[in-house]
């Protein structure tokens, strides 16, 4: 793959990350309903139990984990694209070095 292709794939992963993050937030916030599981609060100061639809909550958490994976995959694509570009530049420089040394002699 070319460097620009790696960068396009990286931007694609970043778009997927944004979409999954929005879906995850919507699912987690939608999990707080009246017809769901009652969970005791984690903070002792809060005396009212929370009502959570566990299936939606876990789906939201799963979407958040996938968003994180897509984010780091996008970063890896950007890093690999930069590495390929650096290698191409170094190869071009090394190809030109002998030509300049012969031209001066």
Are the CB atoms for 51 and 32 separated by under 8 Å?
yes
Are the CB atoms for 15 and 83 separated by under 8 Å?
no
- Return the pLDDT at 78: 95
Q: What does the alpha-carbon distance between residue 94 and residue 55 come to, in Å, rounded to a whole number?
A: 58
* Domain limits, the chain: 3-104
Supply the pTM of this predicted model: 0.71
Are the CB atoms for 54 and 37 separated by under 8 Å?
yes
Which letter does DSSP use for residue 48 in this model? S
Residue owning tokens 């959570």: 52
Are the CB atoms for 57 and 31 separated by under 8 Å?
yes
Q: What does the alpha-carbon distance between residue 89 and residue 31 come to, in Å, rounded to a whole number?
A: 51
Are the CB atoms for 94 and 20 separated by under 8 Å?
no
Q: What does the alpha-carbon distance between residue 62 and residue 40 come to, in Å, rounded to a whole number?
A: 22
Per residue of the chain (105 residues), what is the pLDDT tens digit?
889 999 999 999 999 999 999 999 888 888 776 566 666 666 677 667 667 777 888 888 999 999 999 999 999 999 999 999 999 999 998 888 876 655 555
């Amino acid at each position: 793959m070319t460097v620009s292709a790696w960068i396009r794939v990286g931007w694609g992963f970043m778009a997927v990350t944004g979409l999954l993050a929005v879906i995850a937030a919507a699912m987690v916030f939608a999990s707080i309903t009246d017809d769901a599981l009652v969970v005791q609060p984690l903070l002792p100061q809060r005396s009212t139990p929370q009502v959570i639809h566990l299936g939606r909550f876990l789906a939201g958490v799963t979407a958040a984990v996938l968003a994180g994976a897509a984010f780091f995959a996008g970063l890896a694509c950007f890093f690999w694209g930069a590495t390929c570009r650096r290698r191409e530049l170094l190869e071009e420089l090394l190809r030109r070095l002998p030509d300049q040394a012969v031209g001066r002699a």
